[in-house]
Amino acid sequence: MKKTNPIIRGTRIIFALTSVVTLILGIVSCMDGQAFDSGYFSVLLTALISLAITFVPDFIANKDIMVMPMGLQALFSGFTFCAMFLGEILDFYTRFSWWDTMLHFTSGVMFSIIGYMLFLSFNRDAGVRRQLNPVIVVMFTVCFSITCGAVWEIFEFCADSLLGMNMQRWQSVMPNEQWGALQNVSNFSNPGLVNTMKDIISDALGSVLSTFFVLPLARHNNKYKKVSVPQAALLAEYSGAVSRVHAVKRTPNRERRPALAKQR
């Protein structure tokens, strides 16, 4: 039986204990004639969701959806612990102004590695991979990571807009005089914009930094050889592909099926 990484096991134990302790405290408060405290419910829900998230890499690996090395699973669990337990439950986001930025930077690195493993999982023919330019692989991982960061910002915006939350820190805490003086003068009068852009920039920096790790991996045993092809030839190939696509679209389905059958 495969042993669970200590980081993953420890993270799951902490989330499980937090759930149990919070539930007990909530029940005790109810026995005293009080309603179940919303704070207990929030912590309980956060801990349970976080506990479930730590099993996602196991599910992905067991279903052979993509390759998930144990080290990457440990990084994912550690990140979940820092973001959910320390950040949400222990309120590190408020206590330390740099905590959110640090996590976004780390997520940029982590999702770049996940993007690389996703690339390997989708291209399991080693012969095909070795003929791809390593720069293409790095571009994919960086774009994948930044996209994950952008999707998260979309989620935060939707949560703030629909549920009245403050995930993007759009609620200004500066005095009215200072806020008014910044209007139409500086974009720092919009804390939600500043928070979102800081997060995206941190994601991007982490993604770019990860290239120093991903590029050597992509170059390993790579037999790629750059072949100089004139731009005119590339343009002709592109134009020919476009023409064939349009020709297929203009062909009725009943005429297209016999042609496809002959090709098979």
The CA distance from 207 to 110, in Å, is 8
Check pLDDT > 60 for residue 97: yes
pLDDT given at position 208:
95
pLDDT-based confidence at 170, cuts 50/70/90?
confident
Tens of pLDDT, residues 175-199: 777 767 777 777 777 788 888 999 9
Give the domain ranges of the chain: 1-86, 97-227, 230-264
Question: Which stretches of the chain are DSSP H helices?
Answer: 6-31, 38-53, 56-62, 70-80, 92-95, 99-122, 126-129, 134-163, 176-182, 191-209, 211-219, 231-250, 253-263
One-letter amino acid at 176 equals: N
Tens of pLDDT, residues 214-250: 988 888 766 677 777 888 888 999 898 888 888 877 7
